[in-house]
Structure 1
Amino acid sequence: MALVNRHLAKKAERDNPAAGRILNVNGVRLHFVERGSGEPLILLHGNGSMIEDFQSSGLIDLAAKQFRVIVFDRPGFGHSDRPRNVIWTPDAQAELIKQALAGLGVSNAVVLGHSWGASVGVALALKFPDLVRGLVLASGYYYPTARPDVIAMGAPSLPLIGNILSHTLSPMISRAIWPLMMAKIFGPRSMPEKFAAFPKEMALRPSQIRASAAESALMIPDAFKLRNQYANLKMPVVIIAGQDDHLIDIDTQSARLHSDIPQSKFHRIAGHGHMIQQTATDQVMSAIQDVTRSASQLEAAE
C-alpha cells in the first residue's frame, strides 16, 4: 500500500505542477499565486485544501479585477513544505506568512481566511495588526466544542502510528469516503461542476493527509487559546458563513464571534453550507468589498 500511495502521490505532483512561484521563507518552500493589481488581498484556504480551491471557485479571477490577489498554499498543502521541526499552529503560520508578504513588498492588506484559514487570518491580525487593514472570516471555527470527529481525523498525525497510517490505510480510506466528505462539506448544496478542477489526488497524498490530520488535532486547542482574544481585533471584520453548514455550527461559532467583536458585520448565507467560496462566490466577493470600504472609511476618519 505504501508503494502504491507513493506512486500515486508522485503522479499527482507530475500531473499538477506548481502554477505559481516558490518563495523560500526561513528554509520553508512556500508556493503562492499572484494575480491582478491594486490593493493587496490575501486568501488563506482551509484544512485539506490548497490554492486550487480558490482558483476553481472563480474567486481569484473575480477579485483580481480589483485587487492584487496573493494566494498561498499553506504549509504542507499543495506545493508548500511543512517541516516537522515546527508545530504549525495558526501563530506559527501567521509568522511565516507575514515574512513571506514582507518579501513580496506587502505591508498592508485585506485578508480572507476560509475554515482553518480563518484561524490563521485571526492570528495574523492579532500578531500584526498594522499588516491587516481588514479581515474576512468565512466558515471558521473559533470556540472549543466537543468534536469526536476531529479527534478521529487527527489519528494520522500521531507519532509512529501516524506515519504508518498516512502512507498506507489513510489515503485508501479517504478515496473510498471522498463522495461522503464532499456531500458533507458542500451540503445542502450539490458539489458544483467547477470543483472538478480541484486536484483530488494532490489532497490524498500521504504528506497532505498528515498535514490535514495535524491541523485537525490542533483545531480545538487553538480555539481554546484564541477564544478570549477576539475583542482585541480593532480593524474592520466581516464574518460570513453558510446558514446550513453541516461541518460547523454557525450559531456557536460565527454568530458568537460577531457578538465578541463590536465592529464586526455578520452575513448568514441562506441555503448554503461550509464551502461558500465555491457555492456563494459572489457573496464572498461582496464581503471582501464590504470590509475594504469599511477600512477605507476608517482610515479617512483617522
Structure 2
Amino acid sequence: MTFQHARFPSFISDCVFAVRRYPALTTVAGAATLMAGAALINRQLAKKADRDNPPQGQFIEVGGVRLHYVERGNGRPLVLFHGNGSMIQDFESSGLIDRAAENYRVIVFDRPGFGHSLRPRNAVWTAEAQANLFKEALSQLSVHRAVVLGHSWGASVAVALAVRHPSLVEALVLASGYYFPTARSDAAASLVPAIPGFGDIISYTASPILGRFMWPAMLRKLFGPQSAPEKFAGFPREMALRPGQMRASAAEAALMIPGAFAAAKTYNELKMPTIIIGGEEDRLIDINKQSVRLHEEVKQSKLYRIAGAGHMIHQSAMPDVMAAIDEAAAQTLH
C-alpha cells in the first residue's frame, strides 16, 4: 500500500501531462463516454417502450423471421402494410382496422424491424424480399387471395407482392406511395445511419435523441397541412424511437430511390383492379410525380386525390381510404 500511495501522485501527474500534451485525447475520451452513456439510456428507454407496449397480436415464423401480426374480423382477406418507421398501431389508431373488420378478415403485419417483428441482418430487406416473406406468411395463415393495401413504403411492398405473386393479390389499394425515383432529402440523410457497423453506432446513440427532438417537425410534415389528430396520440412514439427500429427505418429510407428504379420497370405487369389514393397536400412526396404518373402507367387503375389531406391519408381521411378498399374489392366480383 505504501508503494501504491507513493505512485499515486505520480500517476495523476502523468495524466495531467498527457492531457496537456495531447488535448485531443480528452475530446475523444469525453465523446466516447458521452456515446456510451447515450447508448445505455437509449437501451433502457427501448426496454421500457417494449414493456409499456406489449404485443397485441400473434406471432408467426417464416424462414427464420419472427413476424408479429394482428388479425381481426371475418370475410374476404384484407392485408395492410404500414409505411417506413411505423407499425401496426398506426392503422390501429386511425380506426381503419376496426372499420374494415366489419366486413373483412383484416390481417396487419409489423413489417421486419418494426413494432414487434424481427429484422435479421442476413438479408437486404428490399420491397421484393419482404413481398416473398409475406407471401409465405399469408400461406401459413391460409390466405391465398386477398385485397392488399399499402401505405407509403408499404405501397412498394404491396406492388412487389402483386408483381411477384399476382395470383395472391386480387386487388390493390396504394396510398401515398413512392413509385418513381426522384430526389429525396430523407433518403440522403439516411445513407450514413444505414452503413453497417457505423450506422449501428449512430442508431444506438444519436438517432433516438435527434428523433425525439425532430418528432414535432416530422409530424407537421407527415400530417400537414392538417395537424396530427387526437386519435394519433395512441401511436407509441417511444417504440418508433427504439434504436433497432430507427436502424431499420434508415435502411428502408436508403433503399427508396434504388427500389423505385427497379420497381418502375414492373408496373406494366399489374393487371388486377388498382385504386391509387393520395393527399393533394402531401408534403413528403409530390403526388403528381408519383400517384398521378403511376395512374397513367397502370391503365386499369383509378386515382383519387383527396383535397386538404397530407401524407398520412389513412389517418386524416380514413373514410376515403375505406371507400377505396371497398371499391377495389367490388371490382373483383364482376
TM-score normalised over the length of structure 1: 0.98
State yes or no: 1:19 paired with 2:60.
no
* 1:1-302 paired onto structure 2 within 5 Å: 1-297=38-334
Q: Render the CA deviation track for 1:87-137: whole Å, top value 9, x for unaligned.
A: 000010001100000000000000000000000000000000000000000
Distance in 2 separating the partners of 1:150 and 1:181? 14
Aligned to 1:300: none
Distance in 2 separating the partners of 1:84 and 1:75? 10
Distance in 1 separating the partners of 2:153 and 2:116? 18
Aligned to 2:30: none
Distance in 1 separating the partners of 2:331 and 2:211? 42
- SS of the residue corresponding to residue 288 of structure 2 reads coil
The gaps in structure 1 that reach 5 residues or longer are 298-302
Distance in 2 separating the partners of 1:119 and 1:66? 25
Q: How far did residue 295 of structure 1 move?
A: 1.3
Q: How far did residue 149 of structure 1 move?
A: 2.6
Distance in 1 separating the partners of 2:130 and 2:219? 26
TM-score normalised over the length of structure 2: 0.88
Q: 1:154·1:215 contact (CA, 8 Å) conserved in 2? A: no
Q: How far did residue 229 of structure 1 move?
A: 1.1
Identity %: 62
Distance in 2 separating the partners of 1:148 and 1:181? 13
Distance in 1 separating the partners of 2:192 and 2:311? 23
- SS of the residue corresponding to residue 107 of structure 2 reads strand
The gaps in structure 2 that reach 5 residues or longer are 1-37
What is the aligned length? 297
Q: Render the CA deviation track for 1:216-246: whole Å, top value 9, x for unaligned.
A: 0000000000112111100000000000000
The RMSD of aligned alpha carbons is: 0.6
Distance in 2 separating the partners of 1:147 and 1:69? 32
Q: Mark the structure with the bigger radius of gyration.
A: 2
Q: 2:181·2:257 contact (CA, 8 Å) conserved in 1? A: yes
Q: 2:174·2:275 contact (CA, 8 Å) conserved in 1? A: yes
Distance in 2 separating the partners of 1:191 and 1:153? 24
Q: Render the CA deviation track for 1:53-111: whole Å, top value 9, x for unaligned.
A: 00000000000000000000000000000000010000100011000000000000000
